């Protein structure tokens, strides 16, 4: 039987949040790192090395803010945040993040950053299902795990369960903490020194629903 699986998305260089979550991840768990690992946070290099130090139990995928560490890539992350993050990473660390795949598949569960099609699509728990059915129809998975919007949800799209893992390092939620998944169930881990949220859950939900798919 496969062991437990933890999904850690959108860490954004927040080492304190990552350490708090890792303290709760079972020792035998596979860890899926769901992209946007470093951008915008104070300890990008330390986060990369902490996760790489866990070895083969970590499965990596690339988010939009990881891809956009390449200055030739266009995307969504603020250029100033990317410039600061690049300055704190080695060329080897940047190349490692750029080289990660866009998706990871574990059995009948597909892990992607935004949607199975790309790393920038925005949708929320309130996005009408008819706008999403085509995107998830060819996922060939019973469950799709995503992140990107930093808000946890669990919904069904055309018969496929779609679970947003939330954000470890930069959540848009009402309660403080680091947000993640363990065996497809939502978790929240409190920790000391959490930076102030850039938006409330209500603000982010309204904005992303209006601007998304």
CB count in 10 Å sphere of residue 73: 13
- Per-residue pLDDT reduced to its tens digit, 36-46: 999 999 999 99
pTM for the whole thing? 0.95
Would you state the pLDDT for residue 76? 79
> Residue 202 — pLDDT band, cuts 50, 70, 90?
very high
Phi–psi pair at 17, nearest 5 degrees: -65, -45
Q: Which domains does the chain have, with CATH numbers?
A: 5-211 (3.60.21.10)
* 199 burial level (CB within 10 Å; 0-12, 13-18, 19+): middle
Please, are residues 87 and 40 in contact by the beta-carbon 8 Å criterion?
no
**193 has pLDDT over 90:** no
53-62 mean pLDDT: 98
> Residue 205 — pLDDT band, cuts 50, 70, 90?
very high
**168 has pLDDT over 60:** yes
32-60 mean pLDDT: 97
> Residue 170 — pLDDT band, cuts 50, 70, 90?
very high
**Distance in angstroms (rounded) separating the CA atoms of residues 164 and 144:** 9
Across the chain, what does the average pLDDT equal?
Answer: 95
**175 has pLDDT over 90:** yes
To which residue do tokens 């860890």 refer?
31
- Give one DSSP letter per residue of 46-74, joined into a string: HHHHHHHTTGGGEEE---HHHHTTSTT--
**1 has pLDDT over 60:** no
């Amino acid at each position: 039987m496969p062991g437990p699986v933890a999904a850690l998305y959108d860490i954004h260089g927040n080492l304190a949040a990552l350490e708090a979550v890792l303290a709760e991840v079972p020792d035998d768990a596979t860890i899926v790192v769901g992209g946007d690992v470093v951008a915008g946070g104070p300890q990008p290099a330390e986060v990369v090395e902490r996760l790489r130090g866990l070895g083969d139990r970590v499965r990596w995928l690339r988010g939009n803010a990881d891809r956009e560490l390449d200055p030739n890539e266009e995307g969504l992350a603020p250029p100033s945040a990317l410039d600061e993050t690049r300055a704190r990473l080695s060329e080897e660390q940047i190349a490692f993040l750029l080289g990660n795949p866009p998706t990871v598949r574990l059995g009948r569960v597909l892990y992607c950053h935004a949607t199975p099609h790309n790393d920038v699509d925005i949708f929320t728990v309130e996005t009408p299902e008819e706008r999403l059915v085509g995107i998830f129809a060819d996922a060939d998975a019973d469950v799709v795990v995503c992140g990107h919007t930093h808000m946890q949800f669990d919904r069904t799209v055309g018969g496929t369960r779609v679970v947003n893992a939330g954000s470890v390092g930069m959540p848009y939620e009402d309660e403080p903490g680091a947000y993640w998944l363990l065996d497809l169930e939502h978790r929240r881990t409190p920790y000391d020194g959490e930076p102030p949220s850039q938006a409330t859950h209500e603000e982010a939900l309204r904005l992303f629903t209006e601007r998304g798919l």
